[in-house]
Amino acid sequence: MLDAAFMCRWMYATAAAVDREAARLTELDSAIGDADHGANLKRGFTAVAAALDKEPPPTPGAVLALAGRQLISSVGGASGPLYGTLLRRTGKELGDAAEVDRAGLAEALGAGVAAVAQLGGAAAGDKTMLDALLPAVEALGRSFTEAAEAAEAGALATVPLRARKGRASYLGERSEGHQDPGATSAALLIAALGEVAA
């Protein structure tokens, strides 16, 4: 079973991964965006880690909801409200249970991903973070490892796509041939989940 401490470890592992990969995320965003994705997420997850350090919430749902609020308030780019909504909505779905199992987390994360789709108006194949998150949620019903693999494959599969949402969509066909930064960071988030579950 996954408790509040597990969710904190997930958020810390994500913060560490974002820190490690910030330059790469920014490089991807410099090709089809405005070169701030690494900095945006670094600022966001640093704020998440600081808030969790200060006062770790008592339940898994409260940990993710707090993380989501921190992302929304600390990140200026599109990805802040989107990731913030993902975690806040997932946390809300978990309610005030003290523990959740993998299937329960998969279901809650599914609601979180649906909220991201609703907020941003994007769908599968639009070359966004959803291209990593949607397959990850589906695979999380089977295992943490498969979820991480599905997210990574989803991020890689954005390379040939033409962006239809967000800043990269302004480039039209010139967005083809580049990996989407948000799908890449989403794969880091799900890889971190797999890491802490292992």
Least distance (Å) between residue 93 CB and Mg ion: 28
Q: Which of 7, 10, 36, 117 binds Mg ion (CB under 5 A)?
A: 36
In the region spanning residues 65 to 124, those forming contacts with Mg ion, defined by CB under 5 A, are 77
Report how far residue 12's alpha carbon sits from residue 47's, in angstroms, rounded to the nearest whole number: 11
Residue matched to tokens 């797999």:
194
* Site membership for Mg ion, residue 154 (CB under 5 A): no
Q: Which of 91, 120, 135, 154 binds ligand ADP (CB under 6 A)?
A: 120
Contact 181, 25 (CB under 8 A): yes
Question: How many other β-carbons are positioned within 10 Å of the β-carbon of residue 189?
Answer: 25
**Site for ligand ADP contains 91 (CB under 6 A):** no
Tell me, what DSSP letter sits at residue 77? S
Q: Burial level of 119, CB count in 10 A (0-12/13-18/19+)?
A: middle
Using rule CB under 6 A, residue 177 touches ligand ADP: no
User: Of the candidates 4, 7, 9, 36, which one interacts with ligand ADP according to CB under 6 A?
Assistant: 36
59 binds ligand ADP (CB under 6 A): no
What amino acid is encoded at 140 in this protein?
Answer: L
Residues 70 to 89: which contact ligand ADP by CB under 6 A?
77-79, 82
Q: How many residues make contact with ligand ADP (CB under 6 A)?
A: 24
Buried b / exposed e along 52-76 (16+ C-beta atoms within 10 A): beeeebebbbbbbbbbbbbbbebbe
User: Does residue 45 contact residue 15 with C-beta atoms inside 8 Å?
Assistant: yes
Q: Cβ contacts of residue 111 below 8 Å, gap of 6+?
A: 89, 90, 93
CB of 39 to ligand ADP, least distance (A): 8
Binding flag, residue 38, ligand ADP (CB under 6 A): no
Question: Does 18 interact with ligand ADP (rule: CB under 6 A)?
Answer: no
- Can you give the binding site for ligand ADP, defined by CB under 6 A? 29, 33-34, 36-37, 40, 77-79, 82, 116, 120-122, 128-130, 165-167, 180-183
- Can you give the binding site for Mg ion, defined by CB under 5 A? 29, 33-34, 36-37, 77
